[in-house]
């Protein structure tokens, strides 16, 4: 996938020293292509600032860098760092929402011979076909884009006769971008996450089980620009702490997409028992989920989160029928976002694998919901019945009490203090 990481253009020495200038290869930099951020009209400066803050948070612990931005592109330079450190920076940028492509590029002076030299060397270990794609952000450059592409392509072909030219579907696209003060030469890029910068769409609270679905739901909302906090209900004191460990590892894994995640944990066992004692029977599961949502709403108020997020998918389990989902919406005033509502389990699992949460979700644990599952689960819960159970329980006060007694954890992917948005 990351061909540019092991190409000879990236010449990292184990001792961390840089040898780029000595070889005249040009400084290695990270060039990133932005997606929808560029479309946002007059709000653009705000979005760009948000993205830049998120980039800084994601680069925590790496050497200092200089950031410059022009329309649709962000460039990071680390002039004193080793190639290895620059490659690490590029790898981190692949997690930052709002970035569509990450390229490791050589920064070359605006001199045609220098460009040709770097281009030729960067193709040295390649086989198969190639094409040169040139573009000029600076129209004063003496050659047009197509002249530049033809010139560089000819030189590469002459130096490496085993390579063939294929302009339509090349194995390697060698890219030359002429900028204001310099030229960037690079080959294949690495896909980023796309989406919008985290924090741009506000703040949400994810109801996070230890299962497969809720981490994927969190990821999808982060990718649409929500900064999220997480709330987990454990069955304690009637279960062990395993589900908390799972929730913690899941949030840690997701933290690399937003930097600075908070996980709130509620011991829910006693409340579940109270629900059962109030005669919930077949409504036990839906009544529990309503109490979870009410607790989440009380906490969201304190956190200034303006939406709740769950991993519900229509019809996936009996508590997720349309009637039951309607009954869940009735429990709170805040909107409940359900990004997985129309997805198949196989699609959800595929995405969970891609974001690195599937293996954690599949670890065994004692989920609080399975603890008091009735033999038969109501698939068409009536809101009036649920409200009656809640009156007996004094559910609003119970939710306030649970929300006031949460435990806070800060699972961090890159270590303490990284906090963006």
The vertex-79 CA angle with 195 and 174, nearest 5°, equals 60
357 binds, among Mg ion, ligand ATP, none (CB under 5 to 8 A by kind): none
Neighbouring C-beta atoms of residue 397, cutoff 10 Å? 9
280 binds, among ligand ATP, Mg ion, none (CB under 5 to 8 A by kind): none
Is there a binding annotation on residue 232? yes
Least separation in angstroms between residue 401's CB and Mg ion is 24
232 binds, among ligand ATP, Mg ion, none (CB under 5 to 8 A by kind): ligand ATP
Residues of the shown chain interacting with ligand ATP in the complex, contacts defined by CB under 6 A: 207-209, 211-214, 232-233, 292, 310-312, 316-317, 319-320, 368-369
Using CA atoms, how far apart are residues 168 and 129, in angstroms rounded to an integer?
Answer: 10
Is there a binding annotation on residue 311? yes
* 361 three-class SS: helix
Q: Is the peptide bond before 397 cis (omega within 30 degrees of 0)?
A: no
317 binds, among Mg ion, ligand ATP, none (CB under 5 to 8 A by kind): ligand ATP
Residues 176-215, one symbol each (x = binds Mg ion by CB under 5 A, - = not), give: ---------------------------------x-x----
Is there a binding annotation on residue 233? yes
| Helix (H), strand (E) at residue 329 | helix 322-329
Is there a binding annotation on residue 203? no
Is the Cβ of residue 67 or residue 317 nearer to ligand ATP in the bound state? Answer: 317
CB 19 within 8 A of CB 137: no
Least separation in angstroms between residue 363's CB and ligand ATP is 13
* 16 three-class SS: coil
Least separation in angstroms between residue 243's CB and ligand ATP is 7
Using CA atoms, how far apart are residues 305 and 383, in angstroms rounded to an integer?
Answer: 26
CB 37 within 8 A of CB 197: yes
Find all residues with CB under 8 Å of 147, minimum gap 6, and list them: none
Largest Cα separation within the chain, whole Å, is 84
Six-digit token string for 307: 């939406």
Least separation in angstroms between residue 373's CB and Mg ion is 11
**CB burial of residue 1 (10 Å; 0-12, 13-18, 19+):** exposed
218 binds, among Mg ion, ligand ATP, none (CB under 5 to 8 A by kind): none
Is the Cβ of residue 260 or residue 311 nearer to ligand ATP in the bound state? Answer: 311
The vertex-80 CA angle with 79 and 85, nearest 5°, equals 90
CB 110 within 8 A of CB 181: yes
Residue 380 DSSP class: S
Least separation in angstroms between residue 213's CB and Mg ion is 7
Using CA atoms, how far apart are residues 352 and 311, in angstroms rounded to an integer?
Answer: 12
278 binds, among ligand ATP, Mg ion, none (CB under 5 to 8 A by kind): none
Residue 198 DSSP class: T
Is the Cβ of residue 21 or residue 373 nearer to ligand ATP in the bound state? Answer: 373
Task: Kindly give the pairing relationship between strand 190-191 and strand 99-108.
Answer: antiparallel
Is the Cβ of residue 98 or residue 311 nearer to ligand ATP in the bound state? Answer: 311
Six-digit token string for 416: 């303490």
Is the Cβ of residue 211 or residue 225 nearer to Mg ion in the bound state? Answer: 211
Is the Cβ of residue 102 or residue 212 nearer to ligand ATP in the bound state? Answer: 212
130 binds, among Mg ion, ligand ATP, none (CB under 5 to 8 A by kind): none
* 86 three-class SS: helix
Q: List, in sequence order, every residue forming a beta bridge with 224; answer none if it has no partner.
A: 196
Is the Cβ of residue 83 or residue 213 nearer to Mg ion in the bound state? Answer: 213
311 binds, among ligand ATP, Mg ion, none (CB under 5 to 8 A by kind): ligand ATP
Query: Which single residue brings its beta carbon nearest to Mg ion?
Result: 211
Least separation in angstroms between residue 266's CB and ligand ATP is 8
Is there a binding annotation on residue 97? no
Is the Cβ of residue 209 or residue 261 nearer to ligand ATP in the bound state? Answer: 209
Is there a binding annotation on residue 349? no
Binding site for Mg ion (CB under 5 A): 209, 211
Residues belonging to the binding site for ATP are 207-208, 232-233, 289, 311, 320
């Amino acid at each position: 996938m990351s061909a540019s990481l092991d190409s000879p253009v990236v010449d990292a020495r184990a001792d961390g020293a840089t040898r780029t200038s000595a070889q005249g290869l040009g400084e290695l930099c990270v060039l990133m292509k932005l997606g929808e951020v560029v479309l946002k009209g007059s709000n653009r400066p705000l979005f760009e600032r948000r993205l830049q803050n998120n980039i800084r948070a994601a680069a925590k612990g790496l050497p200092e860098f200089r950031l410059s931005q022009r329309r649709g592109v962000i460039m990071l330079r680390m002039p004193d760092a080793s190639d290895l450190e620059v490659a690490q920076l590029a790898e981190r940028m692949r997690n930052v929402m709002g970035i569509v492509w990450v390229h490791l590029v050589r920064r070359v002076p605006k001199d045609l011979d220098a460009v040709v030299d770097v281009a030729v060397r960067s193709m040295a270990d390649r086989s198969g076909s190639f094409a040169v794609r040139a573009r000029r952000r600076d129209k004063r450059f003496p050659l047009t884009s197509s002249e530049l592409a033809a010139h560089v392509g000819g030189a590469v072909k002459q130096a490496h006769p085993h390579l063939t030219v294929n302009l339509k579907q090349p194995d390697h696209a060698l890219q030359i971008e002429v900028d204001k003060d310099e030229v960037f030469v690079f080959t294949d890029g690495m896909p980023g996450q796309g989406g919008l910068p985290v924090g741009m769409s506000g703040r949400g609270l994810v109801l996070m089980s230890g299962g497969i679905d809720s981490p994927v739901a969190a990821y999808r909302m982060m990718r649409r620009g929500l900064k999220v906090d997480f709330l987990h209900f454990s069955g304690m004191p009637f279960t062990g702490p395993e589900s908390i460990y799972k929730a913690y590892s899941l949030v840690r894994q997701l933290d690399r997409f937003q930097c600075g995640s908070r996980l709130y944990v509620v011991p829910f066992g006693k409340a579940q028992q109270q629900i059962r004692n109030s005669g919930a029977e077949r409504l036990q599961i839906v009544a529990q989920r309503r109490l979870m949502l009410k607790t989440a709403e009380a906490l969201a108020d304190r956190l200034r989160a303006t939406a709740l997020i769950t991993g519900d998918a229509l019809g996936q389990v009996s508590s997720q029928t349309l009637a039951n989902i309607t009954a869940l919406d009735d429990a709170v005033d805040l909107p409940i976002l359900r990004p997985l509502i129309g997805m198949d389990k196989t699609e959800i699992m595929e995405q969970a694998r891609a974001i690195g949460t599937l293996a954690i979700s599949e670890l065994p644990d004692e989920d609080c919901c399975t603890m008091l599952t009735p033999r038969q689960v109501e698939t068409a819960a009536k809101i009036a019945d649920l409200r009656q159970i809640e009156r007996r329980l004094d559910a609003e006060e119970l939710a306030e009490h649970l929300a006031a007694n949460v435990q806070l954890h800060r699972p961090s992917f890159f270590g303490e203090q990284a906090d963006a948005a």
